[in-house]
Structure formats: C-alpha cells, structure tokens
Amino acid sequence: MTDSAAPIDVERLSGIDPAAADQQLNDKVGMKLLEATAERVVGTIPVEGNLQPYGLLHGGANAVLAEALGSTVAALNAGPGRAAMGLELSCTHHRAVRAGTVTGVATPLHVGRGTITAEIVLTDDEGRRTCTARLTCVVRDRPPGA
C-alpha cells in the first residue's frame, strides 16, 4: 500500500457510469483509494476541509469514506454483470479527530448472491480506531447496456 502507486481506476473496478465520473462525492471530500481487491479496500480522507462546527472531523465524512470503501469491496465481489448498491450503513464514532488523515480498511464479512456486508474500520494517523462501520449492499443484475 503506497501513495506513489498509479491511481486505481475506480470506474473500471466498480462500474461507475462515465457520465457521473466527474461528480463523485469521494472527490469532494478528498478521498484517495490506495488498495482495492475483493478481500480488502483501503482509502484515506484528509481531516482538513471535512470538519464540523467544533473543529472535529465531521461524522458524515466518516460515513462517506466508509460507504465508498464498503461499496467498492462489494462491487468487486458482486461478480460479472452484477451491481452492488448500498442498503444500510451503520457508523459508530469512537474518537474525535482534529487533524491529519483518516484511513479506512473495508473487508467483506458476508458475500452472498443477494447481499454483501462489509466491515469498515477507520483509524487516525496514530493507528487509533476512530470509527467502526458496517455496510450492507444489495446485489442485483445490471440492466442491459449499463
């Protein structure tokens, strides 16, 4: 896992519609995808620019990172001609973060024909767990031409 590696083509990996590629929330929060396999997806967001009024990382930014990583791991496990879409997201915020970078690691907990559930663990620069999230995605056949 290294920042110096070539950028990961998320559109190819997860089937993002090219027409929506330049409108991704991930870009707006400064997310960087560092690693993406069916077994593990890793990404980061900066704390700066993603604060709530008290100067802490916004819980919604945690949710954005968690859903993005969990959805990517689900898409990579969905199989050819299948699409994974978020059904339920749960986030437990354990510790506030005021500066630096938050890193998320998503791993699949359940991979089925109809649903995929991932656990996403977010940590601060010192490796302390800041948030634990669980995302369940529904898996459906892609519509023809999609």
73-132 per-position pLDDT tens digit? 999 999 999 999 999 999 999 999 999 999 999 999 999 999 999 999 999 999 999 999
Active site residue 88: no
Q: Identify whether 91 is part of a domain.
A: yes
The confidence band for 65, taking pLDDT boundaries of 50, 70 and 90, is very high
Give the count of domains, the chain.
1
Q: Identify whether 21 is part of a domain.
A: no
Q: Which residue among 11, 67, 88, 126 is the active-site one?
A: 67
Range of the domain at 37: 29-141
Q: Identify whether 23 is part of a domain.
A: no
CATH number at residue 41: 3.10.129.10
Q: Identify whether 48 is part of a domain.
A: yes
Q: Which two tokens stand for residue 23?
A: 């409108």
Contact of 101 with 92, CB cutoff 8 Å? no
Q: Identify whether 76 is part of a domain.
A: yes
| H-state helical runs in 1-146 | 10-14, 25-28, 59-78
Stated pTM of the model: 0.86
d(CA 110, CA 70): 12
Q: Identify whether 8 is part of a domain.
A: no
